[in-house]
Structure 1
Amino acid sequence: MKITKSLLQTGALTLSMVATGVMAAVSADEAAKLGTSLTPVGAEMAANADGSIPAWTGGLPKNAGAVDSKGFLADPFASEKPLFTITAQNVEQYKAKLTPGQLALFKRYPETYRMPVYPTHRSVTLPDDVLAAAKANATTTKLVEGGNGLENFQSANPFPIPKDGMEVIWNHITRYRGGSVKRLVTQATPQANGSYSLVYFQDEFTFRDKLKDFDSTKQSNVLFYFKQRVTAPSRLAGNVLLVHETLNQVKEPRLAWLYNAGQRRVRRAPQVSYDGPGTAADGLRTSDNFDLYNGSPDRYEWKLNGKKEIYIPYNSYKLDSPSLKYEQIVKAGHINQDLTRYELHRVWHVTATLKSGERHIYAKRDFFIDEDTWQAAQIDHYDGRGSLWRVAEAHAQYYYDKQVPWYTVETLYDLQSGRYLALGMKNEEKQSYDFNYSASESDFTPAALRQAGVR
């Protein structure tokens, strides 16, 4: 796999910046590459050497396909057939463009795990104001507090031209997700034999500057607000999680509250962070596994290894089809791979290693982050013995009508137990993501939790 040479020549600069505690922004000359040799968010504009990854030409138009009455999008690539399918029988031929986690899944499920590989489409762009903010960030945004907070940050993508691993991770954490969204999604945690029950969530999410009553003159350390209500099964229905995600979590840790419908009580929830248990996940994910990775990066050392070309899930419209039933997606061992779509894309490879003296169930994580969206596509998780334990894989799609990249389904495979978690399915729900959702700051207060938790 090819590693971009220039990225490996920043060691001395990075060390000097760490020593001062403040990471410097890039120069105006470097920022001028955005929109020329680099896309507006910092990806390589050009095709790769053999053309298997095409040049970026602006992404899909807003009218790339029909939008049904529930907001589900037509697949603009529905007529395409796989170029080839990777199986356990031919995986050696393609291993140079696969992650260790993907290779482990072929080994764990040799009879059923497969990857249909399609032509690559660089389908994503973002709204003009978000692209303008990314370019402004390039010369103004800095890391502070040892890299655990941001200064002079606008909207999304603080480091379109990253110089180290922590800057890449901040791009994932703060990436553009539409500003505000309301969604109805499900989560499955199948047993090894494939049997499962669904948990249903109603999520409300908004970045602070998208609030109806946003006050730009009011100083705040909040990056975004998140509220999640469990609507089924009945034993969990009415429980609500509220999170105020802070921009500098060393200065001010994440604020979280839980409303327990049975007790009718609101309580602070400091456990909703790091390796605290994920909501209704049967022990199969940590709090910071949500969105593939979230939260404060302070417990890890972050190493930027460079760029690679690998096969990642992309343009997953087929998997999001409202004609599918959940039972067609959730199978024993892994989701139905016949419904997936993989493409060759350039990714940033970042390794997170647990700091000495810090605690987390994952001693190391390998991140593979898509260059066009700054979304994590794959993350390999290692335990304290150095063994590969869990493999996260996000099936992404681009909501072209709203110019928003996000996940269709997040999966987290436990190689030891043979179980997995699939989060984000909405095929049978009454609507797709609602990006017209609008909220006030008062909607995200602990006092508002009781009303949100009514069964």
Structure 2
Amino acid sequence: MKTTMLRAATLGSILSLISTMAMARLDANEVNRLGQDLTPTGAEKAGNADGSIPAWTGGLIQASSGFSPGQGYVDPFANEQPLYTVNAGNLKQYAAHLTPGYQAMLAKYPDFSMAVYPSHRTAALPQEAYAQIRKEATSVSLADGSNGLVGYEKSSVPFPIPKTGVEVLFNHFVRYRTGGYQYYPTEMVVQRNGDFTPIRREVKAIMASSMGNPEPNRLYYYLGKVTSPESVAGGQTLIHEPIDQTLEARLAWTYNPGQRRVLRAPEAAYDSPLGTSDGLRTYDTIDMYNGATNKYEWKLLGKKEMLVPYNTYKLANRSLKYKDIIQANHLNQDLLRYEMHRVWVVEATLKPGERHIYAKRVFYVDEDSWSILGADLYDGRGELWRLQEAHSLQRYDVLSAMHISEVVYDLQARRYAVYGLENEERSAQFGITAKLTDFSPSALRRSGR
């Protein structure tokens, strides 16, 4: 009888896997929609009924006049004025298009407001990226357990017509970021009175598909080093991210400058707090969400038309100083731009028996760029605890909509942390290459010395 039950369980697993793979892979008719009624990345090409969301016509693919990489991005919409501003007084009028997090911020802070501008669907990728999306759409699928990919090569949108919430998340994980980049993000934990200390980093990240000799089952390689202030300078984190985390968990190492030792760091995942964030950021809130998906049940709630941060060129202006951006309770909202866009809404609920500081998370994912632009984070009591916001723009010189910064607001503690600002730092470099040896534990040790 036990043998019969085992065979039945095994057969059930096989049928479940086949069903999952069938749902994930697109058929020829679905693929043919890409570039027709859908954009090459799977978004609805048409605008919305009231015209607040325009049709996608190819995105922003040329640099603005006067652009120089060292001087930062020129705002192509600098002359536009807000259509309206959402504040505590008119919150109810626009509530249908606001996340619960924004509604809470508007209710909590009288000076918090959201200037809403005309929407521009600027997201665009190189033609070769579009071709790769079509090529892999009929072959890539979720791994058993939905904690990885099978049949993946290097598509930046493995699931252009997603059927599940996890598929939307994987589109975010692998969205196009030029294959490799190096940048100099700054992190600030902002206290109730507005005080902050910039923590500077140097980060290099390479997609494994962009390297000549990646190891099997590798999605990307990451190396981050804290460069200041002196009290924390020298700390480093190295990550090898698997494609399929059902086969192999994330590999991570840290370098401790005090001990001058490289140590394995299995804790560099999930809800482990980042040492420089004063408890406000966890490892899996980096890039809004990253890492394994196995602690949550993922539900795709569909699309909504919502107000989200978009085309935030003003915030990226390199003439700004951090003191111009950082304020008590929240960022300087005069530097933020919000637009109406369609977003995929994905709900993650903690599985029975699993532990995490966030019992529920709701993500808002841009249909054009597949970037998570916002997230509401709930505690174990079911109360809204924190919200995340990502500030994106189309990097028209490299055709990528990579975030320029992210912020997490703690509604209970009235503090926040912002990460990624580069206004006072060197410019990022995109399309860089690297060798596997650049991301080895021995390289981490040498870098520390």
Task: State the TM-score bracket (shorter-chain normalisation).
Answer: over 0.9
Q: CA deviation at 1:128?
A: 1.2
Rounded Cα–Cα distance in structure 2 between residues aligned with 1:108 and 1:228: 35
* Structure 2: stretches of 5+ with no match in the other structure: 1-12
Alignment partner, residue 252 of structure 1: 248
Q: Residue 150 of structure 2 contacts residue 244 of structure 2 at CA under 8 Å; is this kept in 1?
A: no
Alignment partner, residue 418 of structure 2: 422
1:351 lines up with 2:347 in the alignment? yes
Rounded Cα–Cα distance in structure 1 between residues aligned with 2:431 and 2:169: 28
- After TM superposition, the structure 1 stretch with the greater mean CA deviation from structure 2, 145-154 or 21-30, is 21-30
Note closer, same or farther for the CA distance 1:27–1:92 as it changes in structure 2 (3 Å cut). Answer: same
Q: For each residue in 1:254-300, what CA deviation from the matched residue of structure 2 results, as whole angstroms up to 9, or x when unmatched?
A: 00000011110000001100001124111101100000000011111
Q: CA deviation at 1:451?
A: 2.8
SS at structure 2 position matched to 1:245: strand
Alignment partner, residue 59 of structure 1: 59
Rounded Cα–Cα distance in structure 2 between residues aligned with 1:291 and 1:65: 30
Give percent identity, aligned residues only: 48
SS at structure 1 position matched to 2:121: coil
Rounded Cα–Cα distance in structure 1 between residues aligned with 2:223 and 2:130: 27
Q: CA deviation at 1:152?
A: 1.1
Q: For each residue in 1:387-407, what CA deviation from the matched residue of structure 2 results, as whole angstroms up to 9, or x when unmatched?
A: 000100101111001001111
Alignment partner, residue 115 of structure 1: 114
Count of aligned pairs between the two proteins:
434
Q: For each residue in 1:173-217, what CA deviation from the matched residue of structure 2 results, as whole angstroms up to 9, or x when unmatched?
A: 111112100001100011111111110010000001212xx13xx
Q: CA deviation at 1:418?
A: 0.3
Rounded Cα–Cα distance in structure 2 between residues aligned with 1:402 and 1:90: 39
Alignment partner, residue 142 of structure 1: 141
- After TM superposition, the structure 1 stretch with the greater mean CA deviation from structure 2, 125-134 or 305-314, is 125-134
Q: CA deviation at 1:68?
A: 2.4
Could you tell me which amino acid in structure 2 is paired with residue 113 of structure 1? F
SS at structure 2 position matched to 1:405: coil
Q: For each residue in 1:313-355, what CA deviation from the matched residue of structure 2 results, as whole angstroms up to 9, or x when unmatched?
A: 0001100101100011111111110100000000000100011
1:315 lines up with 2:314 in the alignment? no
Q: CA deviation at 1:17?
A: 7.2
Rounded Cα–Cα distance in structure 1 between residues aligned with 2:355 and 2:226: 29
1:412 lines up with 2:408 in the alignment? yes
With the length of structure 1 as denominator, give the TM-score of the two structures: 0.93
Q: Residue 350 of structure 1 contacts residue 366 of structure 1 at CA under 8 Å; is this kept in 2?
A: yes
Rounded Cα–Cα distance in structure 2 between residues aligned with 1:80 and 1:452: 46
SS at structure 1 position matched to 2:430: coil
Matches within 5 A, 1:142-291: 142-155=141-154, 156-211=156-211, 214-215=212-213, 220-291=216-287
Q: For each residue in 1:37-63, what CA deviation from the matched residue of structure 2 results, as whole angstroms up to 9, or x when unmatched?
A: 000000000010111100000001223
Q: CA deviation at 1:69?
A: 5.1
Q: Residue 279 of structure 1 contacts residue 287 of structure 1 at CA under 8 Å; is this kept in 2?
A: no
SS at structure 2 position matched to 1:75: coil
Rounded Cα–Cα distance in structure 1 between residues aligned with 2:136 and 2:98: 32
Q: CA deviation at 1:131?
A: 1.0
Q: Residue 143 of structure 2 contacts residue 246 of structure 2 at CA under 8 Å; is this kept in 1?
A: no
Q: For each residue in 1:359-403, what CA deviation from the matched residue of structure 2 results, as whole angstroms up to 9, or x when unmatched?
A: 111110001100000000110000111000010010111100100
Could you tell me which amino acid in structure 1 is paired with residue 51 of structure 2? G
SS at structure 2 position matched to 1:230: strand
Q: Residue 299 of structure 1 contacts residue 358 of structure 1 at CA under 8 Å; is this kept in 2?
A: yes
Q: CA deviation at 1:29?
A: 0.5
Rounded Cα–Cα distance in structure 2 between residues aligned with 1:295 and 1:275: 11
Could you tell me which amino acid in structure 1 is paired with residue 319 of structure 2? S
1:130 lines up with 2:129 in the alignment? yes
* Structure 1: stretches of 5+ with no match in the other structure: 1-14
Q: Residue 145 of structure 2 contacts residue 246 of structure 2 at CA under 8 Å; is this kept in 1?
A: no
Alignment partner, residue 10 of structure 2: none
Note closer, same or farther for the CA distance 1:140–1:69 as it changes in structure 2 (3 Å cut). Answer: closer
Rounded Cα–Cα distance in structure 1 between residues aligned with 2:431 and 2:293: 31
Match for residue 295 of structure 2 among 299, 308, 313? 299
Note closer, same or farther for the CA distance 1:145–1:343 as it changes in structure 2 (3 Å cut). Answer: same
Match for residue 430 of structure 2 among 406, 421, 435? 435
Rounded Cα–Cα distance in structure 2 between residues aligned with 1:23 and 1:61: 34
Rounded Cα–Cα distance in structure 1 between residues aligned with 2:348 and 2:16: 16
Rounded Cα–Cα distance in structure 1 between residues aligned with 2:301 and 2:44: 17
1:453 lines up with 2:444 in the alignment? no
Q: For each residue in 1:386-435, what CA deviation from the matched residue of structure 2 results, as whole angstroms up to 9, or x when unmatched?
A: 00001001011110010011111100000100001100011011x22100
Rounded Cα–Cα distance in structure 2 between residues aligned with 1:383 and 1:329: 29
Rounded Cα–Cα distance in structure 2 between residues aligned with 1:18 and 1:201: 44
Q: For each residue in 1:78-125, what CA deviation from the matched residue of structure 2 results, as whole angstroms up to 9, or x when unmatched?
A: 11111111111111111110011110111121x211100000000011
Q: CA deviation at 1:301?
A: 0.5
SS at structure 2 position matched to 1:367: strand
- After TM superposition, the structure 1 stretch with the greater mean CA deviation from structure 2, 351-360 or 127-136, is 127-136
Q: Residue 87 of structure 1 contacts residue 106 of structure 1 at CA under 8 Å; is this kept in 2?
A: yes
Rounded Cα–Cα distance in structure 1 between residues aligned with 2:257 and 2:136: 42
Could you tell me which amino acid in structure 1 is paired with residue 250 of structure 2? R
Q: Residue 278 of structure 1 contacts residue 285 of structure 1 at CA under 8 Å; is this kept in 2?
A: yes
Note closer, same or farther for the CA distance 1:327–1:344 as it changes in structure 2 (3 Å cut). Answer: same
Q: Residue 362 of structure 1 contacts residue 382 of structure 1 at CA under 8 Å; is this kept in 2?
A: yes
Q: Residue 393 of structure 1 contacts residue 411 of structure 1 at CA under 8 Å; is this kept in 2?
A: yes
Could you tell me which amino acid in structure 2 is paired with residue 79 of structure 1? N
Q: CA deviation at 1:65?
A: 3.9
SS at structure 2 position matched to 1:253: coil
Q: Residue 185 of structure 2 contacts residue 421 of structure 2 at CA under 8 Å; is this kept in 1?
A: yes
SS at structure 1 position matched to 2:255: strand
Rounded Cα–Cα distance in structure 2 between residues aligned with 1:423 and 1:324: 16
Could you tell me which amino acid in structure 2 is paired with residue 434 of structure 1? Q
SS at structure 1 position matched to 2:33: coil
Could you tell me which amino acid in structure 1 is paired with residue 233 of structure 2? A
